[in-house]
Structure 1
């Protein structure tokens, strides 16, 4: 994998790049309504964006104050390269550093193996959000 630059920040600092990736992945690819994708939780989250060697944003995610990780998205050309795992591990480290004992996420069911590989376990039954099958997963820190 090529070297990345990873930036953490609030919504005001990373909005333009995070929003571009999320709109591409969730709204354009997965047909999630834009009004569901962008929410008022962004303002209180810690955001992360990965940039390729040319400075283009390629992946993003967020950590809510309650320990939920969400909006994990990697642009299609970079999927399978380890970028998502780097961002996930980074958000988990940020959560642990601030004293969280557990992180929780709602994984799209097809992505559950990715999260299992990073120490998450399934909690609860499958549910649908924005017409997409999800499963709640947790990881002790």
Structure 2
């Protein structure tokens, strides 16, 4: 029960962060869903960072890892919103924006996971020893 509560609290925090950051970014744009793209890239980076720090360094306990990844990042990233917004671009025949959104979200989110992994592994190789 404790773990479920922990994940729920993480989800609460992640959802508020998603609303705040996504909305703040989106307010600058009208047609293209930059808010969703931004939170997916940020979430992917932190998911990669946390998972690889957990795997290679044992930095987080299982409960902390679940709080951060399943709870916070799970509520923060937005595949369903991404899918809906992409479909709306398709419905409006905005094929260029649809292609940019699909390509940018998938490639930049995967790249963000890679960067998170790289940062995590740099801890393992001692680059960040002074910061631990």
**Does TM-score exceed 0.5, indicating one fold?**
no
- Greater share of helix: 2
Report the TM-score when normalising by structure 2: 0.30
Structure number with the higher strand fraction is 1
TM-score, normalised to structure 1, is 0.29
Give the greater-gyration-radius structure (CA): 2
